[in-house]
Structure 1
Amino acid sequence: MAALDKDLYQKESAVRFCLINGLIPFLEVDVLNFRELSETETVITDFDVLGVKIEPTGQPQKILFDCKTSKVSPINRAFWASGLMQYAGCDEAFVLLRRKASEAHRLSAKTINVHLFDDSQFSNYAESCSIDFNVDYCYSTKIDNWVSLFNAKVGNNHFEQCFKISNINVPLEKDVTKVLRQLITAFQKSRGEFDPAKSKHRAIFYHATSSFAFLMAQIIHDLRNVVDFDAELDDFERVVRFYIWGGRDSLRLRNKLKSAFASQNKSLPQEEAEFNGWPMFVELCRSLLDSPADIQKCVNPLRELAMRSVTPIDEKKDAHLSSLIASNKRIRQFSMSLVRYFVTATKLPSEFISDLDKAFDDLR
């Protein structure tokens, strides 16, 4: 993959830094226009690595990593990163340089939440956070595995679109319900392309469910703040329905449009706009409310399974993954619930569910 061929070592370092600090890494995240005004979608720039984490308040923390070699001075690169941070709603930025920046530039950049490091300085800084920084202990800590994951989508337009949503829209879109609908719609339209028996197809699927878990972590934190824990099912369902469709007025507008369309097509029943797998989604939300903080703990294991599908099996990395899953019983429980709903909503082959269950069994 051409995009990942550049600055591989720095990107691997950024990913490892994310992992040791509890951040979820996303690679090669394109930054799009605020609103597209042309017939074709254009890309402003991209994040080499974007690290995200859901805070206890439910708000995502975002840290960008810029690994590009540039002739621009370090402080000017810091100003560029600061502007990109503000545009994309990030909290901090790390700019990894080929040569050292002066102490004055580094201190000035820090006042705008940008950290300037060359490779050696960043390695020392990361090691001070955790000695595991230099250890290749899981599938995600090796950049070659990321390349294999990205290559799984190459040559299939449906997979390209699905991967784009799960890797770009998911970490950057502020409206989580909007991107949730996009993710489910894209996979439903592409369901005929997926074969659970093929490793590349499983990789795309697990990567998507990893992103789905990240979205649900934010959604459940939102619902936790607005729904009474002892609410009746009807009241709970009403709140979730309004929330998913962007509010009461948005849902009413959708219903009016659907009714108008149905009136022009007598063969279609006039009914409310419905979310895919709605009863199961409501049940999923109620079950995940038992422990919102544990939802995002499913993200990394599912992504590990995605990479494991398209790379040689490594016993040591399997042992780490097994230990991670065993450390919290919610990981398997929530992952299975998330995958069951995702398969139902997108109408993907049900074998994906049994495949995940078998993968968990094999890792015991």
Structure 2
Amino acid sequence: MIKDRNLKIRVIEYFVRRNWYPHLEVNVLSQTQISAAPKLVTDIDALALAPEITGRFQIILGDCKTLKGQSGITRALWMKGLMEYFGAKKGLILLTKDIEKEHQLTANTFDVQLFSDNDFNFYSHATADYLEPLFSSLIDIDHWDRFMEIDKKFPRLKQLCEYARTNFWNDKISNFQVRSGLSILRVLKGELDPANKLHLSLVMHHYSLMAISLNQIITEVFTRYISLKTKDDLSNDLKIIIYGGIANYEYLNELRKRSSGNTIPDKDLALPEWDTFVELVRLVFENPMNFNILPLYLKELSFCFLSTDPTKYTYAKGISEKDKHTSNFALRLSEYLNKACGLPPEFHEVYSKAIVFGEY
């Protein structure tokens, strides 16, 4: 069960009310690995991805503690170090005790905000919309408990669960995230059952992570799209970005040909179902600046599958009603990932009903 749960869900609710993508309890690994297995160095209580004006995401970290023996500024200095290590732009710390004003002012100088209970209540209501009731599956702490415990019920899905709470967040390189995200689903496709609500939630959540990494690639490519006159131009550009630059792509492509033995591949190195992927990107280019809401939309749908009464949650519907592209993006991404990863077609069928009709 999640510790300091009441504090953490307040921060998550604030993130959701700001339309930021939220996650709880992210494990932070050492960036330099010398041991046989990756080592956990610390963890992040709450994390948000907030859209920048460019369409890309910036990372915001949240820390929620009931500590009595540690001063606010000590915690803020720890947060600043974590921000630097993790590449975050801002940190929020929510403590249950009162905080000295000098500590708050000092923390503000390095982009960390220290809040007591009362301070955060005032700040959150002043900077987010709390006037309207929020019917979101993401602000039910029991859903987070269920999500965090999926691998206890299904040990063979541990790799997928670890990707959601650890590996994805520690990669932080979008081109690798796209490839690794596809690879994990392709490996585990035989373990996934579209008749199981927990599996539906986990896979849809994975789609939301894929949408995050895809958003970062799309914002990078779109800035030069006006010079990409043909589909082939776009296809070549995407391959170069996804595989880490032209030199690395040519090296991997040549290595693939050499390792194929007597059978030389008919096509160059590319993601599975490459033509469908390129068509998806071309579709997103019709409204690229609004694609960054898709990860949040998919995560909301993911957590609806964890509920015994998902129809009471209207947050996803509200997102899709604000921009009709969102549901179309979701359908096309689901269709692509289902085909590219070889998942049972029932996954896409169930997701389509959730996206179009709100049926779970």
If the length of structure 1 is used for normalisation, what is the TM-score? 0.92
**8 Å contact 1:217–1:293 — kept in the other structure?**
no
Deviations 1:195-236 (A, max 9, x none): 111111101111111111222211111110123266112212
Distance in 1, matches of 2:13 and 2:237, equals 39
Structure 1 gap segments, 5+ residues each: none
Partner of 1:338: 333
Give the Å deviation of 1:259.
Answer: 2.6
Partner of 2:345: 350
Partner of 2:308: 312
Secondary structure, counterpart of 2:269 in structure 1 = coil
Matched to 1:122, the amino acid is F
Partner of 1:290: 286
Partner of 2:188: 190
Do structure 1's residue 326 and structure 2's residue 321 form an aligned pair? Answer: yes
What percentage of residue pairs aligned between the two structures are identical?
27
Deviations 1:123-167 (A, max 9, x none): 221111235289552111221121122223324344221132234
Partner of 1:224: 222
**8 Å contact 1:50–1:62 — kept in the other structure?**
yes
Q: More deviation in 307-316 or 11-20?
A: 307-316
Do structure 1's residue 34 and structure 2's residue 31 form an aligned pair? Answer: yes
Give the Å deviation of 1:243.
Answer: 1.1
Do structure 1's residue 9 and structure 2's residue 2 form an aligned pair? Answer: no
The number of residues matched between the two structures is 358
Secondary structure, counterpart of 1:153 in structure 2 = helix
Distance in 2, matches of 1:136 and 1:103, equals 32
Partner of 2:127: 129
Do structure 1's residue 141 and structure 2's residue 139 form an aligned pair? Answer: yes
**8 Å contact 1:258–1:270 — kept in the other structure?**
no
Distance in 2, matches of 1:95 and 1:148, equals 25
In structure 2, relative to structure 1, the CA distance for the partners of 1:315 and 1:259 (3 Å cut) is: closer
Deviations 1:56-77 (A, max 9, x none): 3143211101113333221111
Given candidates 251, 255, 259, the residue that maps to 2:257 is 259
Partner of 2:56: 59
Deviations 1:69-93 (A, max 9, x none): 3332211111111011011000111
Distance in 2, matches of 1:133 and 1:194, equals 40
**8 Å contact 2:293–2:326 — kept in the other structure?**
yes
Secondary structure, counterpart of 1:249 in structure 2 = helix
Distance in 2, matches of 1:35 and 1:330, equals 41
Matched to 1:73, the amino acid is S
**8 Å contact 2:76–2:93 — kept in the other structure?**
yes
Partner of 2:297: 301
Q: More deviation in 91-100 or 226-235?
A: 226-235
Distance in 2, matches of 1:216 and 1:243, equals 11
Matched to 1:278, the amino acid is W
**8 Å contact 1:188–1:346 — kept in the other structure?**
yes
**8 Å contact 1:176–1:215 — kept in the other structure?**
yes
Partner of 1:72: 70
Secondary structure, counterpart of 1:154 in structure 2 = helix
Distance in 1, matches of 2:170 and 2:121, equals 27
In structure 2, relative to structure 1, the CA distance for the partners of 1:205 and 1:74 (3 Å cut) is: same
Give the Å deviation of 1:293.
Answer: 1.7
Do structure 1's residue 362 and structure 2's residue 353 form an aligned pair? Answer: no
Partner of 2:45: 48
Distance in 2, matches of 1:165 and 1:312, equals 26
Secondary structure, counterpart of 1:197 in structure 2 = coil
Partner of 2:177: 179
Distance in 2, matches of 1:168 and 1:216, equals 18
Structure 2 gap segments, 5+ residues each: none
Distance in 2, matches of 1:169 and 1:25, equals 16
Distance in 1, matches of 2:47 and 2:144, equals 14
Distance in 1, matches of 2:104 and 2:42, equals 24
Matched to 1:194, the amino acid is L
Partner of 1:201: 199
Deviations 1:294-344 (A, max 9, x none): 212222222122111121115432x44323322221111000011111111
Deviations 1:235-284 (A, max 9, x none): 12111111111111111111232233223xx4675763231211111111
Partner of 1:240: 238
Do structure 1's residue 156 and structure 2's residue 151 form an aligned pair? Answer: no
Secondary structure, counterpart of 2:226 in structure 1 = coil
Matched to 2:244, the amino acid is G
Q: More deviation in 293-302 or 233-242?
A: 293-302
Matched to 1:152, the amino acid is I
